[in-house]
């Protein structure tokens, strides 16, 4: 049985955003059953957990005595087991992987910059000075993404892939950044309307509710 680690509780602003959601979604798309290993406060710093996740983050993927960390690596691993996430054709598969990496490297850092300033440093002088520039650059990157998407349903055309899964989870972080980009807003809505996403989100939120 596949086991993924997740936090037992997080602040309200983080609920529905913790990165085990990406892995849950991928597992739902692939039709693979899993269970969760819920971490209480401090569990992520215990030596036995740091031995499998050196940064004390979630998720960790465990199966048959082997472990894997980093949500991108885990989603790719799941995708290798399911054509629902990664096409069999080598060229098409490479395109999907390209977009997954673009989500993590070219888009997410700039969106997270906006999120971190807004959540934790909005009242600091440097935060007030930095926020407009951070938002402007994030929107610049999102404009480039919107042009690449064009009128296609998904990043590689008609087919949803692991690249779309990762990109959608990134775009959800600060959805107001999509104001003025109707193609991206519609794209995000299309991705998150998938039943597998709904099941994954409900499962994560359900774990939080049980722990409350």
Segment 45-77, tens digit of pLDDT = 999 999 999 999 999 999 999 999 999 999 999
Comparison of pLDDT for 209 and 16, the residue scoring more? 16
Confidence grade of residue 212 (pLDDT, cut at 50, 70, 90) = low
SS (H, E, C) 101-126: HHHHHHHHHHHHHHHHHHHHCCCCHH
Q: What is the mean pLDDT of residues 96-109?
A: 98
Say if 2-84+196-211 and 90-194 have the same CATH topology.
no
What are the beta bridge partners of residue 6? 38
| Confidence check: pLDDT of 211 > 70 | no
Task: Give the fold, CATH level 3, of 2-84+196-211.
Answer: Glutaredoxin (3.40.30)
- Rounded to whole angstroms, the Cα distance separating 115 from 212 reads 25
Domain range list for the chain: 2-84+196-211, 90-194
Predicted pLDDT at 157: 94
Nearest to 190 by CA among 166, 154, 148: 154
Predicted pLDDT at 166: 98
Confidence grade of residue 209 (pLDDT, cut at 50, 70, 90) = confident
- Rounded to whole angstroms, the Cα distance separating 47 from 129 reads 40
| Confidence check: pLDDT of 122 > 80 | yes
CA neighbours closer than 13 Å in the CB half-sphere of residue 202: 8
| Confidence check: pLDDT of 94 > 70 | yes
Confidence grade of residue 210 (pLDDT, cut at 50, 70, 90) = confident
Q: Which CATH number fits domain 90-194: 3.30.750.24, 1.20.1050.10, 4.10.91.20, 3.10.20.440?
A: 1.20.1050.10
* pLDDT tens track for 141-154: 999 999 999 999 99
């Amino acid at each position: 049985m596949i086991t993924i680690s997740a936090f037992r509780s997080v602040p309200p602003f983080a609920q529905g955003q913790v990165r085990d959601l990406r892995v849950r979604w991928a597992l739902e798309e692939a039709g693979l059953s899993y269970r969760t290993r819920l971490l209480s406060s401090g569990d992520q710093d215990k030596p036995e957990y740091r031995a499998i996740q050196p940064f004390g983050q979630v998720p960790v993927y465990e199966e048959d005595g082997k472990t894997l960390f980093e949500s991108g690596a885990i989603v790719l691993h799941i995708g290798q087991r399911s054509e629902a996430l990664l096409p069999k054709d080598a060229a098409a598969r490479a395109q999907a992987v390209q977009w997954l990496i673009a989500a993590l490297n070219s888009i997410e850092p700039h969106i997270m910059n906006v999120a971190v300033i807004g959540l934790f440093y909005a009242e600091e002088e440097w935060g007030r000075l930095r926020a407009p520039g951070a938002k402007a650059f994030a929107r610049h990157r999102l404009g480039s993404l919107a042009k690449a998407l064009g009128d296609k349903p998904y990043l590689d055309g008609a087919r949803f892939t692991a690249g779309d899964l990762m990109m959608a989870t990134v775009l959800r972080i600060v959805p107001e950044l999509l104001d003025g980009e109707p193609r991206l807003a519609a794209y995000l809505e299309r991705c998150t309307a998938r039943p597998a996403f709904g099941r994954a989100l409900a499962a994560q939120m359900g774990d939080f509710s049980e722990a409350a």
